[in-house]
Structure 1
Amino acid sequence: MERHQYPDSTPNSSTENVGLDVKPLRTLAPMFPSSYGLNVFSQSRTSPFIYISPSDYSSLPPGFTPPFPPFQAPQPGNARQPNSYPNGNSSFQTPSASAAEKKMKKQIHLGSNSVTDGSNSGCSMKPQKKKSRKALNIDSGLVPSLLDPRDSVEIVLMTFDALRRRLSQLDDGKEVKNQRPDLTAGTTLMSSDLRANRAKRIGSVPGIEIGDIFYFRIELCVVGLHAPIMAGIDYMTAQFENGDDTVAVSVVSSGGYENEETNTDALIYSGQGGNANVDQKLQRGNLALERSLHRGNVVRVVRSARDYSVPNGKIYFYDGLYKVESSWVEKGKSGFNVFKFKLLREPEQPPGLAIWKMTQQWKDNPTSRGRIILPDISSGAENVPVCLVNEVDDEKGPTHFRYSTTVEYLRPLNSMKPLEICRCASVCLPGDVHCTCAKLNGGNLPYSSNGTLVSRKPLIYECNMSCCCSSNCRNRVTQRGITHKLEVFKTRDRGWGLRSWDPIRTGTFICEYTGEVINKINLEDENADNDEYILQTIGFDEKAFKWNYGPELLGEPSADYSTESLGPLPIFISAKNMGNVSRFMNHSCSPNVFWQPVLYDHGDEGYPHIMFFAMKHIPPLTELTFDYGMGGGTGSRRTRKCLCGSPKCRGLFG
């Protein structure tokens, strides 16, 4: 075979590494994925939202319906028009809408064949009947098209995970379980037209930021970051100044191939296709990446990390924009040819993989964390050490307080109303109609099998010390204390803050607000007005009300709770003189944490424990914040200027 070396490809020093066999494009017969046995060169203009390669389709769970869109896809003139990128190739053009639409209607000729899109444009499956939002009575706040891009993405992801948690909860008591509730949730969202960024594009995706994390591949699909739920390379046909071409738009490095990911600014990506007995071919995603090398377009890169909270789990995170710098062919471990592509990260982007590598180094060796004031501010009171760090100035720490992991009530616990007890052997089981604690929670256990909160409620009842179940019961989540590696750090303009070295999954318990319970009379004292550490259950971010699953999507009655049912509560807690890490959690008008009342050591519903849970997936080293609210009532804290910096900042809080 004649070898053709790219001018900018990696030189080969052995016979095992050969130049990519790049013949003139007119001699290459493009091989893009067929749609379930249909002709790959069908000229249908309807592009499915997701394509699944036939070779991968067999690995999906039995009975799964591929999540194709239930509506007419955007016209090719719009779907194939890439977004411009400020640092992109100078030859890249974004023509006017009318010119683009006119040109995109033409077929693109590659060799003797023609295609109309880089995705499964040949699919002729009949779209499902679109469900009416009016019939479902879906809140307009859940409709992505009515929101700004960031809100659109966050609402879609929040609704997806809420549906997935609810589906898992419904399956808990069944003998035959749904093995992939994530796929069912994704299909449900798309069949109801609840998703973001429908059209493929080159470059950044509106509403998605570098560092954003995802726990399921289909989450990448429903927000438009990466369409295929199996294949690692996504591509589309785009218009360049000298003609149309099919180029790669994103890749996912999930550990399934022999990739090299040690460099934070480079990725050696292995091509797709082939197996232990077959050479990879220059087709589909491999061909698209090769064309991106010559076209110079940016490619989104999604990397992955191990999720230690579940067996064989992965966390995907968006690492930013890259360009294909070179490509070659080499012998893989199986002895057969594998395509290799070297992608280099575009400059002046926020750190992505570098954050994960840095925090992992700290977890492996905590002494490697620089600018530590105290290795454990809790002095051993917490399950996990909480370090105190200042990278801003020379301040040696916050004002003195007594660290406590418990709440100090106005009267002894043994004088308060006791909770009912369950008599479950070993642990409380989902679907057990005799479990008293499940009955108190409306018939279902409030937490999933991995300990995440299923839905927000006016009050959650955990098992108490008199219950017969063991300490391993899934209904004892918050009373076990913190489990994430947290750090208290100095912010630049808002005092001390709280963040985590670990990624935090939505619905995960973070910490309790501890301190001294004060009565309403003392709250009206002038000294209390200067207490910046008083927690009042008055603050609700708008998204906190929509955190529960959209029950209409599952044919269930609405589970929305009003402001009256979720607060305010008569309890007031001051962490000024005593408290834990929660006292350092700052206010934000766009928070990533919400509070949830929980009872487990007494039954007085007016004085529950105030527990904090993740409102959404939170990347490592992201500050943890909740909405302090706007009180305005008797005994409330004085109003303060807000410095959260959110686009939706109210300007004031308190």
Structure 2
Amino acid sequence: MAAAAAGARGAWCVPCLASLDTLQELCRKEKLTCKSIGITKRNLNNYEVEYLCDYKIEKDMEYYLVKWKGWPETTNTWEPSRNLKCPLLLEQFYNDQRDYLSQLKQGKAVMLKNDIKSLKPAIAEYVVKKAKQRVALQRWQEELNRKKNHKGMIFVENTVDLEGPPLDFYYINEYKPAPGINLTNEAIVGCMCTDCFFEKCCPAEAGVHLAYNKKRQIKIQPGTPIYECNSRCKCGPDCPNRIVQKGTPYSLCIFRTSNGCGWGVKTLVKIKRMSFVMEYVGEVITSEEAERRGQLYDNKGITYLFDLDYESDEFTVDAARYGNVSHFVNHSCDPNLQVFNVFIDNLDTRLPRIALFSTRTIHPGEELTFDYQMKGSGDISSESIDLSPAKKRVRTVCKCGSVSCRGYLN
């Protein structure tokens, strides 16, 4: 009953090998609620429609096969249409049928409930798969928002295929060091400024300029490091030199692309040019381990290795299994995001944090991209910078579709 306990406390969870149906049955037997598997106080003793599975007409009476929220599929029941008070679920039920028919290239055929006595098995199977996907993506979305530590919300959307949440991906908010790697996360010294924008501050101590203007937009050239105020500094949370450490303020959507690029990320709000958007985080590994993993990833056609070669080439960030929203950001030869090296509490130049800033205004609904070769874009720079993805041995075809597309990611 670990899952039920986790739902009750809301602070922890453990992997479980039991099926969802088994967990739901156990929870109901013990009268326990668990929001993560759909059992709430509202439906613990009552029935709430989760989705519709099938349709038929018997003796001139319309029936729908109902999946009850928080109840296993073995408890599905046929219900007369007069008992259903869920217009949105009915709309989804018929929209999914239309989607299936359109995939069969049957044009804009409309499946009207009065035209048939029952659904074809293939259509009913698709409707159930789509409903299960919708439920799984909603749960994943809730999980992501429980784990993220920034202001911006995370949404998930798939209107393209039946792909569900990735099975082997774990959301983290900061670097995860591999065994044997030490990440020092406490600064030794900090500034004594009362106004970091005008006084000699952390960047000056590091021999660089303050990275941000009064509008908190990036004003330095790519390749120049960002030194933000740290936990030892006397300035407060509203300091103009604390940007990256606050996390993304924007609501973003992980969505399924229609061009064969898998998952992508789009913004749901306007992002002004030169604004901080997100960090690229993952597991920090040695360059030697990165070479070993890179060979495996090459065979799968995936690219998640990012060399931390600001001053040396000792470490790499691997976001394949552990990462944040940036794990899903796709490549483009004409990107709208640019990489910068950031130092806050950890001042080890071998281990910069990776921040992505907008190169231009990005409008709501627009996909976020960065160049895996880290070439500059827009008005910021047209020069390549030192921070670059790990070297790949197999050339991967680029699908960005931009006018300036180089044809390959590497």
TM over 0.5: yes
Alignment of 1:534 with 2:294, yes or no, is no
Alignment of 1:445 with 2:210, yes or no, is yes
* Structure 2 Cα separation of the partners of residues 436 and 497 of structure 1: 35
* Structure 2 Cα separation of the partners of residues 568 and 535 of structure 1: 16
Counterpart of 2:224 in structure 1 is 458
Q: What is the 5 A alignment of 1:207-606?
A: 373-374=137-138, 375-376=141-142, 378-380=144-146, 381-382=148-149, 383-410=151-178, 411-414=181-184, 418=187, 420-425=189-194, 427-430=195-198, 432-433=199-200, 435-440=201-206, 442=208, 444-456=209-221, 457-492=223-258, 493-525=260-292, 526-530=295-299, 532-537=302-307, 570-606=314-350
Q: CA deviation at 1:418?
A: 4.5
Return the letter of the residue paired with 2:270: P
Return the letter of the residue paired with 1:428: C
Return the letter of the residue paired with 1:483: P
* Structure 1 Cα separation of the partners of residues 313 and 249 of structure 2: 27
Q: Is the 8 A contact 1:422 1:463 kept in 2?
A: yes
Q: Is the 8 A contact 1:447 1:475 kept in 2?
A: yes
Return the letter of the residue paired with 1:596: F
Q: Is the 8 A contact 1:506 1:618 kept in 2?
A: yes
Closer, same or farther: CA 377–629 of 1 in aligned 2, 3 Å: farther
Which structure has more helix as a fraction of its residues?
2
* Structure 1 Cα separation of the partners of residues 207 and 183 of structure 2: 22
* Structure 2 Cα separation of the partners of residues 511 and 637 of structure 1: 28
Higher mean C-alpha deviation, range 456-465 or range 624-633 = 624-633
Provide the identity percentage. Answer: 32
Closer, same or farther: CA 450–536 of 1 in aligned 2, 3 Å: same
Q: Calculate the TM-score normalised by the size of structure 1.
A: 0.36
Structure 2 stretches of 5 or more lacking a match?
Answer: 1-133, 375-386
Q: CA deviation at 1:570?
A: 4.3
Q: Is the 8 A contact 1:517 1:573 kept in 2?
A: yes
* Structure 2 Cα separation of the partners of residues 471 and 649 of structure 1: 41
Q: Calculate the TM-score normalised by the size of structure 2.
A: 0.56
Q: Is the 8 A contact 1:534 1:572 kept in 2?
A: no
If you compute each CA radius of gyration, which structure gives the higher value, 1 or 2?
A: 1
Q: CA deviation at 1:445?
A: 2.1
Q: Is the 8 A contact 1:459 1:598 kept in 2?
A: yes
Q: CA deviation at 1:412?
A: 3.1
* Structure 2 Cα separation of the partners of residues 601 and 452 of structure 1: 21
* Structure 2 Cα separation of the partners of residues 514 and 497 of structure 1: 16
Q: Is the 8 A contact 2:284 2:315 kept in 1?
A: yes
Q: Is the 8 A contact 2:196 2:241 kept in 1?
A: yes
Counterpart of 1:334 in structure 2 is none
* Structure 1 Cα separation of the partners of residues 370 and 177 of structure 2: 23
Q: CA deviation at 1:584?
A: 0.3
Q: CA deviation at 1:471?
A: 1.6
Closer, same or farther: CA 384–633 of 1 in aligned 2, 3 Å: closer
Deviation readout 1:56-105 (Å, 9 max, x if unpaired): xxxxxxxxxxxxxxxxxxxxxxxxxxxxxxxxxxxxxxxxxxxxxxxxxx
Counterpart of 1:611 in structure 2 is 355
Closer, same or farther: CA 419–623 of 1 in aligned 2, 3 Å: farther
Closer, same or farther: CA 645–455 of 1 in aligned 2, 3 Å: same
Structure 1 stretches of 5 or more lacking a match?
Answer: 1-370, 539-563
* Structure 1 Cα separation of the partners of residues 229 and 211 of structure 2: 11
Return the letter of the residue paired with 1:515: G
* Structure 2 Cα separation of the partners of residues 533 and 516 of structure 1: 14
* Structure 2 Cα separation of the partners of residues 513 and 620 of structure 1: 21
Closer, same or farther: CA 588–412 of 1 in aligned 2, 3 Å: same
RMSD of the alignment, in Å? Answer: 2.9
Q: Is the 8 A contact 2:202 2:229 kept in 1?
A: no
Closer, same or farther: CA 491–520 of 1 in aligned 2, 3 Å: same
> What secondary structure, in the 3-state scheme, does the structure 2 residue paired with 1:594 have?
strand
